[in-house]
Amino acid sequence: MNLKKIKFCPVCGAKIVNIQTKSSQPTHPTCLTCQFVFYQNPTPTVLAVILKNKQLLLIQRKNSPYQNLWALPGGFVEVGQTLDSALQSELDEELKVKIKTKKYFGSFVSQYELHGIKEAIVATAFKVTLQNYQFSLGDELKNVGFFALDHLPKIAPFFDNQKIIKKLKETHS
């Protein structure tokens, strides 16, 4: 699946075409002039699954896209960050809280669309407990709350959020 619309070779500037170099692999944008192959790897994100008294912590978005809808805390892994440091820095930014314990919950394939270009995402979710549950909302948030899994508010239509919540319901039913 080619998600990026690559038109010109970043090495020689010639036109790029989508070809399949090995039958077992997806097609990649490839330069027929200099043989450059534009391999497309997913962008990593991290997400926190925080449960308290069997209720799930969700944050409400202040801005578009998906203004006023709810989501799991988390975000993109920046260059130089590990999954661990990215998760802590997102929780600092969004809620000003420190992680106490963290356990791998699963990884999920997703997509993110910006300006009509779809980015492939691989989201890693961790089950997190916090050092304390006093929240101070970051600039991009409208609200934070805990919700029973069978009474969730309207979730932003991120594929990874939906998949994580589905798995959570299955494992907590």
Q: Are 15 and 7 in contact (CB under 8 A)?
A: yes
Contact 60, 89 (CB under 8 A): no
Our CB check for Zn ion shows the closer of 14 and 109 to be: 14
- 10 in contact with Zn ion (CB under 5 A): no
Nearer to Zn ion, 16 or 56 (CB): 16
Out of 28, 30, 31, 90, name the contact with Zn ion by CB under 5 A.
31
For residue 11, state whether it binds Zn ion (rule: CB under 5 A): yes
Question: Does residue number 19 form part of the binding site for Zn ion (CB under 5 A)?
Answer: no
Tell me, by CB under 5 A, how many residues bind Zn ion.
8
Q: Give the strand order in the sheet containing 117-130.
A: 74-76, 43-49, 117-130, 99-114
For residue 124, give every residue at least 6 positions away whose Cβ sits within 8 Å of its Cβ, in sequence order, or none. Answer: 44, 45, 46, 47, 83, 104, 106, 107, 108
Minimum CB distance to Zn ion, residue 40 (Å): 16
Q: Given the complex with Zn ion, which of 34 and 117 has the nearer CB atom?
A: 34
**Using an 8 Å Cβ cutoff, are 17 and 5 in contact?**
no
Say which amino acid occupies 75: G
Which span sits near Zn ion by CB under 5 A: 9-17, 40-48, 64-72, 118-126?
9-17
User: Which one among 12, 37, 109, 148 touches Zn ion, defined by CB under 5 A?
Assistant: 12
| Residue 48 sits in the site that holds Zn ion (CB under 5 A) | no
Select from 18, 20, 33, 63 the one that contacts Zn ion (CB under 5 A). 33
Minimum distance, C-beta of residue 6 to Zn ion, in the bound complex (Å)? 11
Q: Which residues of this protein are in contact with Zn ion, per CB under 5 A?
A: 9, 11-12, 14, 31, 33-34, 36
